[in-house]
Homo-oligomer: A and B are copies of this chain.
Amino acid sequence: MRKPERINQMLRFINHKKHFTLQDLMHEFQISKRTALRDIAALEEIGAPIYAEYGRYGGYRLLNKMQLPPISFNSQEVYALYFAMKALRSFSSLPFQVSFRSIHEKFLNELSESQRQDIERIQNRVSFRHTEQIKDSEHLEILLMAAINNKVLKIAYQKLDQTGTRIIQPIAIYFMKGYWYCQAYDICKKAYRVFRCDRITSAEVTDIQPLGDLKEITMQNAHTLWNPSENAVQFKCLVDQRGVEYFQQEHYPSIKLIHEQENMYIIGSYEPNEIDFIIKYLSGFGKSIKIIEPVILKEKLRQYYTDLLNGI
């Protein structure tokens, strides 16, 4: 019997069993254990809601079925879920392996004809344009798993046409403005760093002892690690109303907006090697910003504009 047909029969086979084992599949379909295992993998890929139970008297079982309408979710909720899914779809890589086609088809299947028409019509009229993802990031899953399970990774990281090796302990991953980033502790440099995931060209788990105290660090409190170094420079800039809007559109955790005597300022600190980045960022404010301090930042910005003028 060929595989696709066998897989389909398996779907039906498992569907009227609450519980089955590899043995069952092996006997039922006359295949080896290895093949049965691979078939299970194929079933999962298709989207069968099975899960494994380890150990003696273990086996496979079916998950609670997630019932869609009319039972659980109302139309509004279904629309919201549908569009949430569509928004996610615009990522080309995700830290979970998901077949959007499969989710999409499942969704549409569960809907009534009129709901389907509603979605069809709404679909043409609403969109979430986040910046599209620019480069694929291949190792998201391994980075995420390392963060969750507190593992240390050895990665190859590409920077300015050079590739170096780093030993890192990932803390979290996040998506921002078209790129995936990984917050991590660099074991060699003994410092917290952020890596752009598409520049990580390989990643493998090592046996190196992780820092135990990272366990409790999550996305929410990770910023506490970012103590500016002793070389960090404080800056302060006056911004007008437009500048405030721009700040809200583009801002970074280390930069804050404050209100002081009828005026708005943005303040923060930067490491000396980040000055080019800061200059680029501040220039985005155009006329809506005025650097108060330090003087060197003013000087650098002046230099930046002068260079640009000469380059036109």
Given A126-B173, A301-B312; A7-B9 close (CB under 8 Å): no
Q: Chain B residue with minimal CB distance to A7?
A: B4
**B9 with A125: CB separation less than 8 A:** no
Tell me how many chains of this kind the complex includes: 2
Residues from chain B with a CB closer than 8 A to the CB of A48 are 71, 74
- Count A-side interface residues using an 8 Å CB cutoff: 111
Asked if A111 is at the interface (CB within 8 A of a chain B CB), the reply is yes
Contact A85 B80 (CB under 8 A): yes
Chain B contacts for A66, CB-based, 8 A: 72-73, 78, 110
A279 to chain B, nearest CB (A): 9
22 A-B pairs with C-beta separation under 8 A? A4-B7, A11-B69, A12-B69, A16-B109, A47-B77, A49-B71, A49-B75, A63-B72, A65-B70, A66-B73, A68-B109, A77-B102, A84-B84, A84-B87, A124-B172, A125-B148, A131-B250, A178-B249, A283-B308, A287-B308, A290-B311, A290-B312
- Seen from chain A, the residues whose Cβ lies within 8 Å of a Cβ on chain B are 2-5, 7-9, 11-13, 15-16, 42, 44-51, 63-81, 83-85, 87-88, 94-99, 101-103, 105-106, 108-112, 115-116, 121-122, 124-132, 134, 144, 147-148, 171-178, 218-220, 245, 248-250, 280, 283-284, 286-287, 290-291, 298, 301-302, 304-309, 311-312
